Amino acid sequence: MPRIGIIVEFQMEAANHAAFTAIISEHARLTKQEEPGCQQFDVLQPLGRDGAPDHTKVMLVEVYADQAAFDAHGKNPRLATVREAYASLIEGRKLTVCHM
């Protein structure tokens, strides 16, 4: 069974960047700690053309051992709480799910 990789890109106003990053970084830490099927969960800071951080974006790269591990992540009750916590901080979210 293939591993599942996901890439998530969030858009936000730069003023919300620090608050959003704090929430999502803690979520990443707890996911890696609590979910044995989570093999990777990185929070990435995109750069602008000038090489400076683009504080209107944050990206996630997550890798799950298989479909069951990915499904378990989606059912983690903490996920709904995290989404609620950041909902007012973001303007958009794009999710891409991939086989690896």
Per-residue pLDDT tens for 12-60? 999 999 999 999 999 999 999 999 999 999 999 999 999 999 999 999 9
- Give the C-alpha separation, 7 to 38, whole Å: 14
Domain 4-99 annotated CATH 3.30.70.100: yes
Q: What is the pTM of this model?
A: 0.94
Give domain limits for the chain: 4-99
Per-residue pLDDT tens for 79-88? 999 999 999 9
**93 and 57 in contact (C-beta within 8 Å)?**
no
Model confidence at 1, in pLDDT bands (50, 70, 90)?
A: confident
pLDDT for the residue numbered 68: 97
CA–CA–CA angle 56, 57, 63 (5° rounding):
165
